Amino acid sequence: MVLDVLSGPAGMTEEQAVASVRTIGLIGGPAALQRMQAYKDAPQRGVRQEVVNAWPRFDTVEFTESILARALDAMTCSVRMQARPSHIQWPHPCFQWDQSAEGTAPNDS
């Protein structure tokens, strides 16, 4: 369907790649997550930001492991969630906890 006609980022302008990533994010699901992998290491900041913006539209664990795993060493994210995810060890060097989302900070254990 739509995912089949979206090519990878090679040869795209930043604007085109951002639009493609946004579309992939809106589609969501396993096939979209697989297609998103082509954009995870894009050199353009706008494309990488759009990849991160798509995170809430996918399974958090799968997205973190398949898309963000390599990038997390070089970035800090402010995470706003209803509950602290149990699969992330706290404190985590790559995340800043937004205490207003849950009302309490994660414990350090």
- What are the tens digits of pLDDT across the range 31-43? 999 999 999 888 8
Q: Give pTM, 2 decimals.
A: 0.65
SS (H, E, C) 50-82: HHHHCHHHCCHHHHHHHHHCCHHHHCCEEECCC
Total tally of structural domains belonging to the chain: 2
* CB-CB contact of 49 with 80 (8 Å): no
Cα gap 63→35, rounded to integer Å: 12
Q: pLDDT for 55-102, tens place per residue?
A: 889 988 888 888 887 655 555 555 555 566 666 666 655 555 555 554
- 88 and 108 fall within a common domain: yes
Residue 46 lies in domain: 2-70
Claim to verify: residue 14 and residue 64 sit in the same structural domain: yes
Residues 54 and 96 in one domain: no
* Same domain membership, residue 61 and residue 9: yes
| Whether 90 and 41 share a structural domain | no
* Whole-Å CA distances, 57 to 25, 60, 65: 6, 8, 15
Residues 45, 14 share a domain: yes
More reliable by pLDDT, 1 or 56: 56
